[in-house]
Structure 1
Amino acid sequence: MVPANATSSPSDSLRLEIVGAGRSLVHRLPSLNRPYKPFPVIGWNCHTETIFAAFFRALPDVRYRRECLRTRDDGAVALDWVCGDDREIPAASPVLILLPGLTGGSGDTYVRHMLVKARSKRWRVVVFNSRGCADSPVTTPRVLVDRWFSLFLSCGLHELLFDMQFYSASFTEDLRHVVKHVGTRYPGSRLYTVGWSLGANILVRYLAEESHNCALSGAVSLCNPFDLVLADENFHKGFNVVYNRSLARALQKIFKKHALLFVDMGGEYNIQAAANPRSIREFDEGLTRVSFGFKSVDEYYINASSSRSIAHVHTPLLCIQAANDPFAPGRGIPRKDIEENPYCLLIVTPEGGHLGWVAGDEAPFGAPWTDPVVMEFLEHLESGSIENPSPFQANSAGQSPDILHQFESIMS
């Protein structure tokens, strides 16, 4: 039974919370000029909305062609391009890289809906499937070793329970490799990225690490947990305990499937705990934090949290969160840093659950409410880039110091 305290009434305020320097941009995004109306009943409870979106949202029919990309450490990621794009999409069209929750992939409903929306605008789209996800090959222990938030925060409920792999809440090198590869393949196109959940956490960390040298012209973060310590605490409360226990059992099955990769590991590793976890935290204590040299699980979570990175982002970034997201609690959103960063815009919807947002013209079975907002934001950036040459180019040491002024003029 879904807990009553997770439920809001239809009479609750449905105003959006908007934070950041891009607030003046809102009037240019038509979807934000209409009230947020969650679908009746489904959209009034965060757990109902989360579960409904995971199990009952329609799955668009998309045909992919796969490109396997080797990483520097001899790992592998899979890039799924849409069949026919080379013939149908102009060579100079903008390219949108989709970064699912890291146990998700190109088969997920929320990914496909965003893809369909972008292609309808004549954008080229590629889905970045992380190691072990969407049938990507597992070739190194790294894919298994850094994991838990990639499990629950990164995908819809059905992927969480039945199609889980492992990856890192902090590892950005693969994304860096993919962005460089795509940029080399389409040198005349501007690159943009949309990330969900843990994928959003990875994306924000990447943007901050690249800072003024980022090759992306814009990015969108959706359902980002931001503060993984707070998210972990939230994971042990109320109805979320059910998710935690289910994931611990699923982790047990997946770990045992790949246990041979860890047979010879000694030191502080507790392979027995990782193979029989009663909670996600127990798994991280036994395996993850040791693998990356952290003294505790909390130290690992703190270091992996993108809330620590947002102040260093110098690429136009839209963050969309749901106030009632059961996995990404609102108190973890770095509002102050977003407010003070002229490159960032935050929108918090009153409802939405986790990867739900069952609202808008296509509710309840169609695309989430966020998709039109995301495309309006990205199209605005792309049109601004054309009108004002190079304001969102990858920064370089010799770049003009007035880039910030150029960005602010486009956002206003």
Structure 2
Amino acid sequence: MKSYHAPRWLPGGNLQTIWPSLYARRVIGPRIHYQRERWDTADGDFIDVDFLAGGPSAKPDAPLLVLFHGLEGSSRSHYAEAFADWARASGLAFAVPHFRGCSGEINRAPRAYHSGDVEEVGWILARLREWQRARGGGPVLAAGVSLGGNALLRWAGEMGAAASDSVSAVAAVCAPLDLAAGGHAIGRGFNRQVYTRMFMRTMKAKAYAKLAQHPGLFDHERLRHAHDLYAFDDIFTAPLHGFAGVDDYWRRASAKPHLDRIRVPALALNARNDPFVPAASLPREGEVGGQVTLWQPAEGGHVGFPQGKAPPGNVFWLPQAVGNWLLERA
């Protein structure tokens, strides 16, 4: 795999995180268009899946690339559109399944989504594998970004060899594989003032909407005084999804302790200057199974990895590098 070096005009993990998400060109070709399907779930809820419209180009047996988005992400996140553009140019089918409540409409059930949602990831991938088979398509490849990457690798570790029934290879991009380390890091200093505030604004609004749907689901006053992910997960995410509290949730949902159980080709890509994921928390070679490739370049930020000259630059290095790694193992 080619090494990554950030442009000289964009130094540091925070700039390499923020600039690509706000200003980089997302696509080289035409604007990305999706076709949405709504899937009913067994518990009376739904998820929305966006399929790339107009692709793949003249390849009925093309592989399907599935992208699991990050915290509060969607098919319109900068990285999702960049991956969609790469998939289109490469002749792949492409789908973004939205975690519950992330598609623009609040979900129905008294739950949301979380970093270790193994059952949900498995159900989605199994259904997409059947969709591929029905259309005569090729293998299914799955990538997850940040929270979605942890959930994907957590699922792969849980499934072991059985994961190959659904996917040929998986990749996690900038996943906080040790949720406690990442959760505490984002709650301190600059991270707390910028990233935590951004996430909490939308997460709290969704939680209040959920409380209106299901009165008494959690303590409104406690949430009103929550100002970081630790408190939010303790009040909302953990109890709604069967965990004893935030510490239990972060421990049990983290993918890092399960990486040695993965039995399909898997890539874990983490920049060592990621402001969300402390470098000291990243897995080492002796902590993962033989099917897991660790790629930990010095630069890149959190889901940034910009390349090119000064603005307008782009973020296409990331989907190309990760996508080609997956394709080589299809």
For residue 310 of structure 1, the aligned residue among 228, 238, 259 is 259
Partner Cα separation in structure 2 for residue 335 and residue 277 of structure 1: 34
1:76 aligned onto 2:46: yes
Q: Tell me which amino acid in the other structure corresponds to 2:305.
A: W
Q: CA deviation at 1:66?
A: 0.7
Q: Would you say the 8 A contact 1:274–1:283 is kept in 2?
A: yes
1:226 aligned onto 2:160: no
Partner Cα separation in structure 1 for residue 310 and residue 80 of structure 2: 16
For residue 376 of structure 1, the aligned residue among 312, 324, 329 is 324
- For 2:296, the equivalent position in structure 1 comes to 348
Partner Cα separation in structure 2 for residue 316 and residue 175 of structure 1: 17
Partner Cα separation in structure 2 for residue 252 and residue 129 of structure 1: 18
Taking structure 1 as reference, are residues 292 and 80 closer, same or farther at Cα in structure 2, changes over 3 Å only? closer
Q: CA deviation at 1:363?
A: 7.7
Partner Cα separation in structure 2 for residue 363 and residue 312 of structure 1: 43
Q: CA deviation at 1:321?
A: 0.6
Q: CA deviation at 1:92?
A: 1.5
- For 1:366, the equivalent position in structure 2 comes to 314
- For 2:8, the equivalent position in structure 1 comes to 40
Where in structure 2 are the equivalents of 1:177-256 lying within 5 Å? 177-187=123-133, 188=136, 189-214=138-163, 215-242=166-193, 243-256=195-208
Partner Cα separation in structure 1 for residue 229 and residue 327 of structure 2: 39
1:170 aligned onto 2:139: no
Where in structure 2 are the equivalents of 1:258-269 lying within 5 Å? 258-265=210-217, 269=218
Partner Cα separation in structure 2 for residue 238 and residue 348 of structure 1: 24
Taking structure 1 as reference, are residues 228 and 95 closer, same or farther at Cα in structure 2, changes over 3 Å only? same
Partner Cα separation in structure 1 for residue 309 and residue 14 of structure 2: 21
Structure 1 portions without partners, runs of 5+ = 1-25, 27-31, 144-166, 383-412
Q: Would you say the 8 A contact 1:39–1:364 is kept in 2?
A: no
Where in structure 2 are the equivalents of 1:49-68 lying within 5 Å? 49-60=16-27, 61-68=31-38
Taking structure 1 as reference, are residues 116 and 282 closer, same or farther at Cα in structure 2, changes over 3 Å only? same
Q: CA deviation at 1:293?
A: 4.2
TM-score (norm: length of structure 1): 0.73
Structure 2 portions without partners, runs of 5+ = none
1:93 aligned onto 2:62: yes
Q: CA deviation at 1:108?
A: 1.3
Taking structure 1 as reference, are residues 294 and 85 closer, same or farther at Cα in structure 2, changes over 3 Å only? closer
Q: CA deviation at 1:273?
A: 0.8
Taking structure 1 as reference, are residues 368 and 85 closer, same or farther at Cα in structure 2, changes over 3 Å only? closer
Q: SS state of the match for residue 123, structure 2?
A: helix
Q: Would you say the 8 A contact 1:310–1:337 is kept in 2?
A: no
Q: CA deviation at 1:362?
A: 10
Q: Would you say the 8 A contact 1:117–1:372 is kept in 2?
A: yes
Q: CA deviation at 1:245?
A: 4.1
Partner Cα separation in structure 1 for residue 325 and residue 311 of structure 2: 21
Q: Deviations over 1:134-159 (max 9, x none)?
A: 3255111212xxxxxxxxxxxxxxxx
Identity score, percent: 25
Q: SS state of the match for residue 285, structure 1?
A: helix
Q: SS state of the match for residue 130, structure 1?
A: coil
For residue 357 of structure 1, the aligned residue among 305, 310, 317 is 305
Partner Cα separation in structure 1 for residue 172 and residue 309 of structure 2: 22
Partner Cα separation in structure 2 for residue 121 and residue 249 of structure 1: 37
Partner Cα separation in structure 2 for residue 307 and residue 324 of structure 1: 19
1:104 aligned onto 2:56: no
Q: Tell me which amino acid in the other structure corresponds to 1:344.
A: V
TM-score (norm: length of structure 2): 0.90
Partner Cα separation in structure 1 for residue 187 and residue 266 of structure 2: 31
